Amino acid sequence: MRYMVFVKMNEDVGDPPPALVEAMSREMSGAFADGLMVAAGGLYPLSQSTEIRLSDGAVTVVDGPFAEAKEVVGGFSIIETRSHEEAVQNARRVIAVHQEHWPTWNGSVEVRRIAGPDQEG
């Protein structure tokens, strides 16, 4: 089963400490080597994003930043696991690394299963 893991936080959180960057790099390298992680990356700020929206039949295109955004997705990964529990367990490691290396960070990690063309929820 594949899962999308979103790391969410306030956009104005600032730059991560070097120790966190190093620890996450080690975690991700190991996860790629083990075949757990399929893809991963950080996301640029909302000021460099665009939203295309359909509302009441009208399409609008709006460049960020977006005033209503309180928490943003700052990074993501796609992981391959045998169960939802295993996906959650691996995502908890992301929080643990943040807790150890950036204890003042406030954020969350969301785990969502990816549906394939031949799968149902």
**Phi, psi of 21, rounded to the nearest 5 degrees:** -60, -45
DSSP character at residue 103 = T
Q: For the domain that residue 79 is a member of, what is the CATH number?
A: 3.30.70.1060
CA dist., res. 73 & res. 8, Å (int): 4
Give burial (CB, 10 Å; 0-12/13-18/19+) of 1: middle
Cα-trace Rg, the chain? 16
Q: Is residue 121 situated within a structural domain? A: no
CA angle, corner 72, sides to 44 and 48, nearest 5? 30
**With contact defined as beta carbons under 8 Å apart, do 102 and 20 qualify?**
yes
For 52-85, the pLDDT digits (tens) are: 999 999 999 999 888 777 789 999 999 999 999 9
Task: Say yes or no to pLDDT of 99 above 80.
Answer: yes
**Domain housing 22:** 2-113
Instruction: Kindly report the average pLDDT of the chain as a whole number.
Output: 93
Q: Is residue 119 situated within a structural domain? A: no
pLDDT at 83: 97
Q: Is residue 118 situated within a structural domain? A: no
The pTM (predicted TM-score) of the whole model is: 0.85
Q: Is residue 73 situated within a structural domain? A: yes
Q: Is residue 14 situated within a structural domain? A: yes
